[in-house]
A and B are shown apart, each in its own frame.
Chain A
Amino acid sequence: MVAHLLRLKLHLLRNGLRRSVAAIVGMVVGVLYGGGFVLVGLAALISLRAQGDLHLARSAVVIAGAGLVAAWALLPILLFGVDPTLDPTRFATFAVRERTLAVGLVLTALVGLPGVATTLLVLGSVVAGSRSVPSTLAALVGGLLGLLTCVLLSRIGTAAASAVLATRRGRDVAGIGGLLLFVSLGPVLAGLTGGGLNRATVDRLAEVLAWTPLGWAWAPAGDLALGDWGGGLLRLALAAALCLALLMVWERLLVAVLRNPRSASAGGGTVGGGLGLFARMPGTPMGAIAARAGTYWIRDPRFNVPAVMTILLPAGLLIPGVGSDSELALLAMPLASAYLIGWGQHNDVGYDSTAFWMHVASGVDGVSDRLGRLFPSGLMALVCVPLYAVLGPVFGAPWRLLPATFGVGCALALNGFAVACVTSAVKQYAVPAPGENPFTSRPGSAGVTLGVQAVCGAAVFTLSIPALVLGVLAYLGWEWAAWTALVVGPALGVVALVIGTRMGADLFRRRQAILLQDLVSMR
């Protein structure tokens, strides 16, 4: 059965690649990108073995290993999403033993680029720990336990996230949870930027981490090499116990999901409020699209969770800004906010999924479609950019730079919208379908996603160069540049938006059927 699941995963990967060239390109990009990191990591691990400092080797492996565990636990939830092809609920109708399914699903998580990369790095850590026979054995066992911990944590995290997000209240809580997580990252960031890195802090950090669940599996090899048998064996036992506990939690979760599948859609009460936004917006195609977009931003977790993140994320810059008096961090707040909001709209049609047919069938004009979609994010930019621009000086950045940050912020937001108008009529990448967990990702689509995102980011940046240059000049002390940025930034942004809307409308008119076909094939 476990072999069966592994084969299923391999088939899914292969068929995903067969489906489009873009998926293959994505895979290649992923291999190159991830492969680079892995090679650097392996080289570092092997050179740790080659040098003589046992303490350094232990500290480095512990810190890196703890980071790896944390990444596996958090990244699937925050960034890359859950692979829905092996969603446990899909197995609910099959008569598979739960224990077998639990083990099988954990092992399948290792098939795929992140799994292979991590396995290679764990092998590297065995090399780094191979000082003596006992230490090699400890490295091997610890590495295996660490690897299992990584995968189990990611499975548990995503299953828990899906469960929480399946209920409407859960979605609201998730937004707040995201905020808390984000705030808790603050001290870590401050510690990293403020404390500076020296040998003593590295060793101290490793010593602390080695006694946390993140580090239990990675320390024993170093412990044994240093002769600390008691600590090493104790930590090895703790790591094994952690694995066992996680496996039990995962099995418990899986059983809960399998025995109670799709209990989510808690009835269909009336929403009330009559036409809602549709009554308040102008009764034109553009007004209707704006109202629809606005309604989705309120009701659909695929929009409101990221929206909350987008609004709050730039506030994170207050931590280095206030904590270590970094003027640049404070000045960057409105820019980060504007960029995130503007650039974030480049895949809006993708979020319509195949419901986009209504726009195609109605023969709606491109300008209405392009501009109507920008309504909710435009509103967000209108509030957030000025707010963050003023927040900077309030917390200690010089007031004389306010016109510059505000001007550059406007430019970034408007240029982002301009780029979005064009790209969302050209190429869309797969996003979670309506009603799906907002944290799911489509297997094999990472390449297209990264490609489109990178191109859009580069385009926004390029268009904003004049404003950015003026901003830099203002920062360097040229008084006139700040006020020029205030005029030039928004002016060029408006020009870009007008041109972007025209181009986007024209592309929309010519390509709408092709876009719809793309969206259908992504289902």
Chain B
Amino acid sequence: MQESETAPSVAPQVVPPAAPQVALRLRGLTKRFGETTAVDNLDLDVPRGSFYGLVGPNGAGKTTTLSMATGLLRPDAGTAQVLGTDVWADPVGAKSQIGILPDGLRLFDRLTGQQLVTYAGLLRGMDRAMVAERTGELLAALGLTDAAEKLVIDYSAGMTKKITLACALVHAPRLLVLDEPFEAVDPVSARTIRRILEDFAANGGTVVLSSHVMDLVERICTDVAIIAAGVVLSAGTLDDVRAGVSLEDRFLGLVGGSTDVEGLAWLRTSSD
């Protein structure tokens, strides 16, 4: 498998003996936008080596939480620690250990795929030879070699997610934070992304991803947190959280809201 051959080069190397057992520790994170509170005094611990799924309805504060955890958005209150390093006290130290795939932010898409990954690597202060080597391997692993010299703006949605993932992996982070990594991605690309992430986690890396596809989270994650209205409703291992029922049922039970469809009789025109 091509992916597994290349995985070691992007997976974390040797784990220091005194490495903390929590990869991402959030305490009292709060963010308000005007009068709405997007994230409300949120606590979360992501164990090292876990494949952590963050699920929640639209507008639950997933993206805001992940942005504050990775240094992209300054919290109004609270702290975020990545492997023991405070993201807002020592941003450079913390950021060197994180790889990010944000959702809804642009890329420098007038660069070619190869240039973009190279850019991400050089921005991190890596030397050129290592960047070139890893860029080649990442593009091959993600099946983007043929598109390496195309502008990213001409990429499909799936290719764009994959190239962003390559940018997130090029500096061999210990923690990967992925916002909706499977949204608008075709099944083939999704499988490729999943394999790379599973390899990454199997070699000691930690993956945090947000999604609202329950089936997917249930299949690939070891740990889950259910978030709604900026608060963690339930968190822990997958089995603890779903407590005997399916994750979707558990989620709907916690988040609430009726799923019965009323009215819309006029839509049923096929019965005419």
Could you tell me which A residues sit within 8 Å of B by CB distance? 265, 267-276, 278, 283-285, 287-289, 291-292, 295-296, 299-300, 352-355, 357-365, 433-435, 513-514, 516-517, 520
Whether A434 lies near B110 (C-beta < 8 A) is yes
**Residues on the B chain within 8 Å of A354, using CB:** 104-106
Query: In the assembled complex, which residues on chain B have CB atoms less than 8 Å from the CB atom of A360?
Result: 71-72
| Residues 77-110 of B contacting A (Cβ, < 8 Å) | 91-92, 94-96, 98, 100, 102, 104-110
A364 to B124 alpha-carbon distance, docked (Å): 6
Complex Cα–Cα for A484 and B109 (A): 46
Is the CB–CB distance between B120 and A517 below 8 Å?
A: no
Question: With an 8 A cutoff between CB atoms, is B118 at the interface?
Answer: yes
Residues of chain A within 8 A (CB-CB) of B73 are 513, 516-517
| A267 and B122 contacting across the interface, CB-CB below 8 Å | no
The docked-state distance in angstroms from the alpha carbon of A434 to that of B151 is: 13
**B109-147: which have CB < 8 Å to A?**
109-112, 114-115, 118-120, 122-125, 127-128, 131
How long is the Cα–Cα vector from A284 to B95 in the complex, in angstroms? Answer: 18
User: Are B74 and A513 in contact (CB-based, < 8 A)?
Assistant: yes
A271 and B149 contacting across the interface, CB-CB below 8 Å: yes
CA distance A505 to B167 in the complex (A): 24
Whether B154 is near chain A, meaning CB under 8 Å from some CB there, is: yes
Q: A285-B125, A355-B107 are in contact. Are A274 and B149 (CB under 8 A)?
A: yes
Q: B110 to A364, Cβ gap below 8 A?
A: no
CA distance A494 to B213 in the complex (A): 56
Tell me, rounded to whole Å, the shortest Cβ–Cβ distance linking A349 to chain B: 13
B154 in complex: contacting residue of A268, A274, A287, A295, CB < 8 Å: A268
Query: Is there contact, CB below 8 Å, between B114 and A274?
Result: yes
Contact of A270 among B91, B124, B149 (CB under 8 A): B149
Q: With A268-B154, A276-B115, A355-B108 as given contacts, are A285 and B72 in contact (CB-CB < 8 Å)? A: no
Query: Across the interface, which residues of B come within 8 angstroms of A365, CB to CB?
Result: 92
Determine how close the nearest CB of chain A comes to the CB of B263; give it in whole angstroms.
24
A355 near B109 with CB under 8 A, answer yes
Q: Shortest beta-carbon distance, B86 to chain A, in Å?
A: 13
Asked if B206 is an interface residue, CB under 8 A from chain A, the answer is no
Q: A283 with B115: in contact, given A354-B105, A517-B73, A520-B105 (CB under 8 Å)?
A: no
20 contacts between A and B (CB under 8 A): A268-B153, A272-B149, A278-B122, A285-B123, A287-B122, A288-B122, A289-B123, A292-B108, A295-B110, A299-B110, A354-B105, A355-B107, A355-B108, A355-B109, A361-B95, A361-B98, A361-B100, A362-B95, A364-B123, A434-B153
For the complex, is B150 an interface residue (Cβ under 8 Å from A)? yes
The reply to whether B120 and A434 form a contact with Cβ atoms under 8 Å apart is: no
Which residue of the partner chain, among A267, A268, A300, contacts B110 with CB atoms under 8 Å? A300
- Residues in A whose Cβ lies below 8 Å from that of B119: 278, 288, 291-292, 358
Chain A binding site: helix, strand, loop or mixed by DSSP? helix
Given A275-B118, A358-B119, also A363-B107 (CB < 8 A): no
B118 and A514 contacting across the interface, CB-CB below 8 Å: no
Whole-angstrom CA separation of A295 from B110 in the bound complex: 8
Interface residue B70 (Cβ < 8 Å from any Cβ of A): yes
Nearest residue, chain B, Cβ from A433:
B106
Q: Which residues from A are CB-within-8-Å of B127?
A: 283
Given known pairs A271-B112, A299-B110, A300-B110, the reply for A357 and B120 (CB within 8 Å) is no
Task: State the Cβ distance, B91 to closest chain A Cβ, in Å.
Answer: 6
Residues of B within 8 A of A516 (CB): 72-73
Q: A363 contacts B115, CB within 8 Å? A: no
Smallest Cβ distance from A513 to chain B, in angstroms?
Answer: 4
**Given A265-B154, A268-B150, A269-B150, A358 and B123 touching (CB < 8 A)?**
yes
| B95: A residues at CB distance < 8 A | 361-363
Contacts A355-B105, A355-B106 given: A362-B115 contact, CB under 8 Å? no
Q: Please measure, in the bound complex, the distance between the C-alpha atom of A267 and the C-alpha atom of B155, giving whole angstroms.
A: 10
| Chain A: CB-nearest residue to B132 | A275
Q: How far is B116's CA from A355's CA once the two chains are assembled, in angstroms?
A: 11
Given pairs A268-B154, A363-B95, 5 additional interface contacts (CB within 8 A): A295-B110, A295-B111, A363-B92, A363-B94, A434-B153
* Interface pair B131/A283, CB less than 8 Å apart: yes
Please give me the residue from chain A that is nearest to B105 by CB atom. A354
A-chain residues with CB within 8 Å of residue B106 when the two chains form the complex: 353-355, 433-434
For B151, the chain A residues whose CB sits under 8 A away are: 268, 271, 299
CA distance A514 to B71 in the complex (A): 11
What's the nearest-Cβ distance from chain A to residue B177, in Å? 10
Interface centre among B74, B119, B122, B151 (most CB of A within 10 A): B122
CB-CB under 8 A for A361 and B150, given A278-B119, A292-B119: no
For A287, the chain B residues whose CB sits under 8 A away are 122
Chain B, residue nearest A360 (CB): B72
Interface hits, B129-188 → A, CB 8 Å? 131, 149-151, 153-155, 167
Which residues of A are found within 8 Å of B94, using beta-carbon distances?
363
Q: Which 7 A-B pairs have the closest CB atoms?
A: A268-B154, A283-B128, A288-B122, A363-B95, A362-B123, A363-B92, A355-B106
Chain B residue with Cβ nearest A517:
B73
The residue on A at minimum CB distance from B168 is A361
Query: Is A513's CB under 8 angstroms from B71's CB?
Result: yes
Contacting residues, chain B, for A299 (C-beta < 8 A): 110, 151
- CB nearest neighbor in B for A516: B72
B94 (CB) vs chain A CBs: closest residue: A363
Give CA–CA (A248, B112) in the complex, Å: 42
> Across the interface, do A362 and B120 meet the contact criterion of CB distance under 8 Å?
yes
